[in-house]
């Protein structure tokens, strides 16, 4: 099947945000994943549970069923019921596998098809954009909370503070090329 550069780019973006979560989990213990900084704030575990609930609802049979499934219990996504770090990671991967299983088979002809989320019609392009932004928002929270927890022990997931000039010098020392920004991460 022919893939558009849009589809390829969207998939790469989703993979990138998943990797940021993965790299954050690698730095944290189970208890740290459950840490809440204030009453009614969300721990990383709760954010993961919400993301997984959203992904399973949005991407399961998304071409034929509304993206807000009747079986989804959104309010319960904000109650931490995980028993281990492995439990969190298994669920995290389940959500992402559902998403990738739904969008990887798509091609150019699918992008203008209409699907529904809470009875509101979206082209598939609009639905992908909606969820890409939603997931990036929450993955950013996961990374930020991880950084707060680890403090000086945090291993940067991007260009470390103070290294921008060095990073840019390395990039500009190479010939121009075409690629996705995640190709060499």
| Model confidence pLDDT, tens digit, residues 60-92 | 999 999 999 999 999 999 999 999 999 999 999
Q: Which of 1-10, 21-30, 48-57 has the lowest mean pLDDT?
A: 1-10
3 state SS of 121: strand
- Measured CA to CA, the distance from residue 109 to residue 85 in angstroms comes to 40
Whole-number pLDDT of residue 13: 97
Predicted TM-score of the model (pTM): 0.93
Structure confidence at residue 3 as a pLDDT band (50, 70, 90): low
- Measured CA to CA, the distance from residue 83 to residue 176 in angstroms comes to 48
According to CATH, the topology of domain 5-158 is 1.20.120
Whole-number pLDDT of residue 1: 47
Q: Which of 57-66, 89-98, 156-165 has the lowest mean pLDDT?
A: 156-165
User: What does the DSSP assignment read for 94-128?
Assistant: HHHHHHHHHHTT--GGGTT-EEEETTEEEEHHHHH
């Amino acid at each position: 099947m022919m893939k558009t550069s849009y589809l390829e780019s969207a998939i790469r973006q989703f993979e990138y945000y998943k990797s940021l979560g993965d790299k954050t989990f690698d730095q944290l213990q189970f208890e740290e994943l459950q840490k809440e900084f204030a009453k009614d704030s969300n721990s990383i575990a709760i954010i993961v549970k919400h993301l997984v609930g959203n992904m399973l609802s949005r991407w399961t049979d998304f071409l034929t069923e509304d993206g807000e499934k009747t079986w989804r219990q959104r309010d319960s996504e904000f109650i931490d019921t995980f028993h281990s770090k492995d439990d969190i990671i298994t669920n995290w991967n389940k959500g992402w596998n559902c998403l990738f299983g739904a969008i990887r088979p798509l091609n150019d002809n699918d992008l203008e098809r209409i699907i529904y989320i809470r009875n509101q019609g979206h082209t598939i392009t609009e639905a992908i954009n909606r969820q890409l932004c939603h997931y990036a928002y929450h993955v950013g929270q996961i990374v930020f909370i991880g950084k707060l927890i680890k403090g000086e022990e945090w291993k940067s997931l991007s260009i470390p503070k103070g290294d921008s000039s060095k990073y840019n010098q390395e990039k500009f020392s190479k010939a121009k090329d075409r690629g996705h920004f995640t190709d060499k991460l």
